[in-house]
Amino acid sequence: MKPEQTLEEIPLAGLLEGVGAMRAKGGRMVQICATALPGQFELTYSFDFDGRLASLRVQLPASDPRVPSIASIYACAFLYENEMHDLFNIKVEGMALDFHGNLYNTTVKYAFGDTKAPAAKPQAAAVPSVA
């Protein structure tokens, strides 16, 4: 039997209500995935219901990416929320436990926070070798 999966795109204003509904139905939070896309960020919140995966997806503008914390609903979300801040520069408002940019120690600040479309860098022309 193939596991059932659902994905619902919701407005940012409906995030807390949607996550609260997942909790009320007995959902176990599985993950929060942040993805940088051209001009925006996409956040996917996934929940398990006895092998059935249900996900909520919201879009954030790259110009001012802010999202409310869900840690008051799922306490374990504080790790994902700090990760979103440290790696993507997404501001999570009302975090229960804020590491203030120190959860990850990376050589590049906000390593995945660029939402510009990637472009190939020009390669130097190959120089033929003389034998």
pLDDT of residue 120: 46
C-alpha to C-alpha distance for 94 and 68, rounded to whole angstroms? 6
Q: What are phi and psi of 17, to 5 degrees?
A: -65, -45
Q: Residues 6, 54: contact at Cβ < 8 Å?
A: yes
Which residue segments constitute the domains of the chain, with CATH numbers given?
5-93 (3.30.460.80)
pLDDT of residue 121: 55
pLDDT of residue 123: 58
User: Could you write out the three-class secondary structure of 77-130?
Assistant: HHHHHHHHHHHHCCEEECCCCCCCCCCCCCCCCCCCCCCCCCCCCCCCCCCCCC
pLDDT of residue 131: 58
Q: Are strands 52-61 and 40-49 parallel, antiparallel or unpaired?
A: antiparallel
pLDDT of residue 97: 76
- pTM score, whole prediction: 0.79
List the chain residues with pLDDT less than 50.
Answer: 119-120
The tokens for 119 are 């472009």
pLDDT of residue 14: 97
C-alpha to C-alpha distance for 16 and 69, rounded to whole angstroms? 8
